[in-house]
Amino acid sequence: MEKDFTNQEKPANSRRGFIKAAAVTAASFMIVPRHVLGGKGFLAPSDRLTIAAVGVGGKGRSDIDAFNKSGKANIAYLCDVDDRQAATSVTNFPKAKYYKDWREMFDKEAKKFDAVSVSTPDHTHAVVAMAAMQLGKHVYVQKPMAHDIYEARKLTEAAKRYKVVTQMGNQGASGDGVRQMHEWFNAGVIGDVDTVYLWTNRPIWPQGIPWPSTSTPVPKELNWDLWLGTAPYKEYVDKLVPKSWRGWWDYGTGALGDLGCHLMEAPFRILDLKYATDAQASVGSVFVDWGKRGIFPDSCPPASHATLTFPKTSKTKGPITMHWMDGGIKPDRPEELGPNELFGDGNSGILFVGSKGKMMASEYAANPRLLPLSRMQEVQVKQTYARVPGSADGHYAQWVEGAIAGYGKKEMSSPFEMAGPLTEAILMANLAIRGADMAKPRATGNGFDYPGSNLKMIWDNQNMKVTNFDDVNQFVKRTYRQGWSLGV
């Protein structure tokens, strides 16, 4: 019987001991790091993030291209309901397996990918992201991260519960501009802030219009039922896909959903804002005949001005009033700005009003400026916030590297912890906009009233509802079409 040396000293001079020692020595020469075997620039599979992308045309295409440029992403699975939109990505990533239905892709391939990129219309962001997180996958979700306040709240909670690395696609959150403004504010350059203005020329798609009266044939490349997803069933109409869906409440979230996450992120970060306490709005109207205002409840209004109030934070001396303006409406030009000097970037902008001065930026919080512009030559503050490599473009690589490192290992610019409250604020402003545009027939039968246009809507954050205008609470949490669920 072979002697057991498990719990005693092994005889070093025995033949068996020699052979074993020699084998260990040989093995030590054979275990070589994978990057050495692969040559310069080689990344082991464990150093790459394998991504399944849902929505790979348009913005989805640029998203996965940006992940790929990080050099650490493996774009392994592509999914899109429209073969026309997916065509370029399918060509660019010939080794990636292509699906039409993300649910089938998740069922068949979940064990083979680490993370999911979601770049679909707003109304399907939440169901895809939630399903991915429940599988333990890291998620990158285009802005806004959800269509409804309820969805945003549940996604925020899920990211923490499932311990996955999350990022919303508002790239300016990784930009140098917001960090420069943060440093100015912390240094007291503009003093205490109580008011912020945000504006954009969006919408640049049709809004304030009736739903088309005639349907058109569904293109053979498009799975219309899957595109509708959670939304109520309607017959296909021309020009809705791939872009004009933004102006329809069933699918999009209007100008706020498109640009709000880019413009509102800077005040959220700098002033440490969380949840609004109230909102009010006024909207542009369209008259279809003399004295006859058009009523188009399916469509976002052509222009709006929404005002949100946020409670005092550790960064402010009192409440913050935030103004959102779209459809060409802008705040008054600051008196410190010269008559020929550009306000924002000409189309969009951010303006902080402080007790000692003002600061302004363009879309994505790019090109930050102190007002008057002469202060730019006078003020120098110490850099206290590390810059993200690549600035706004580095938003993608940051998430890839964070997901590879694992939950809690690397700082993200727009994790759901931050993106959730930001998205809720945007959707809260939309509640006020929808309320202001809501027509109620007069008891006399002669015309309509718009009671929501004259209200400040009070928000019960814990219970997620407006307490003084119940009509808008139906939009806090949509009723999904049969067969669809958020899974919580």
Give the model's pLDDT for residue 45.
62
Same domain, 157 and 187: no
Classify burial at 407, counting beta carbons within 10 Å of its beta carbon; exposed 0-12, middle 13-18, buried 19 or more.
middle
Residue 24 resides in a domain: no
| Confidence label for 67 from pLDDT (cuts 50, 70 and 90) | very high
Range of the domain at 58: 45-172
For the question of whether the overall pTM of this predicted structure is more than 0.75, the answer is: yes
Per-residue pLDDT, averaged over 240-257, amounts to: 97
Residue 471 resides in a domain: yes
Give the model's pLDDT for residue 221.
98
Residue 5 resides in a domain: no
Same domain, 352 and 429: yes
| Confidence label for 1 from pLDDT (cuts 50, 70 and 90) | very low
Contact 374/385 with Cβ under 8 angstroms? Answer: no
Contact 167/413 with Cβ under 8 angstroms? Answer: yes
Whether residue 85 is predicted with pLDDT greater than 90 in this model: the reply is yes
Residues facing 466 on adjacent strands: 459
Same domain, 68 and 126: yes
Residue length, the chain? 488
Contacts of 311 (CB under 8 A, 6+ apart): 277, 319
Query: Angle at the Cα of 39 (from 36 to 40), degrees rounded to 5?
Result: 105
Per-residue tokens: 278: 């109230």
Choosing from 146, 172, 198, the residue where a domain stops is 172
Give the model's pLDDT for residue 43.
56
* Percent with pLDDT over 90 in the chain: 89
Choosing from 134, 153, 172, the residue where a domain stops is 172
| Confidence label for 17 from pLDDT (cuts 50, 70 and 90) | very low
Same domain, 232 and 329: yes
Counting the structural domains of the chain, the total is 2
Whether residue 304 is predicted with pLDDT greater than 60 in this model: the reply is yes
Whether residue 138 is predicted with pLDDT greater than 60 in this model: the reply is yes
Same domain, 139 and 191: no
Same domain, 148 and 225: no
Say how far apart CA 66 and CA 53 lie, in whole Å. 12
Closest CA to 429 of 210, 200, 212: 200
Say how far apart CA 97 and CA 116 lie, in whole Å. 14
Q: What is the domain-level CATH number for residue 347?
A: 3.30.360
| Confidence label for 7 from pLDDT (cuts 50, 70 and 90) | very low
Same domain, 215 and 264: yes
Q: How many CA atoms lie within 13 A of 239 on its CB side?
A: 9
Same domain, 109 and 144: yes
pLDDT digits (tens, 9 = 90+) for 457-488: 999 999 999 999 999 999 999 999 999 999 99
Whether residue 269 is predicted with pLDDT greater than 70 in this model: the reply is yes
Same domain, 120 and 228: no
Whether residue 22 is predicted with pLDDT greater than 60 in this model: the reply is no
| Strand, coil or helix: 226 | helix
| Confidence label for 454 from pLDDT (cuts 50, 70 and 90) | confident
Residue 39 resides in a domain: no
Residue 132 resides in a domain: yes
Same domain, 188 and 151: no
Q: What is the domain-level CATH number for residue 84?
A: 3.40.50.720
Give the model's pLDDT for residue 29.
38
Residues facing 98 on adjacent strands: 78
Whether residue 42 is predicted with pLDDT greater than 60 in this model: the reply is no
Same domain, 273 and 166: no
Closest CA to 422 of 137, 183, 196, 153: 153
Classify burial at 399, counting beta carbons within 10 Å of its beta carbon; exposed 0-12, middle 13-18, buried 19 or more.
buried
Per-residue pLDDT, averaged over 290-302, amounts to: 96
| Confidence label for 13 from pLDDT (cuts 50, 70 and 90) | very low
Residue 212 resides in a domain: yes
Residue 18 resides in a domain: no
Same domain, 290 and 208: yes
Choosing from 142, 172, 202, the residue where a domain stops is 172
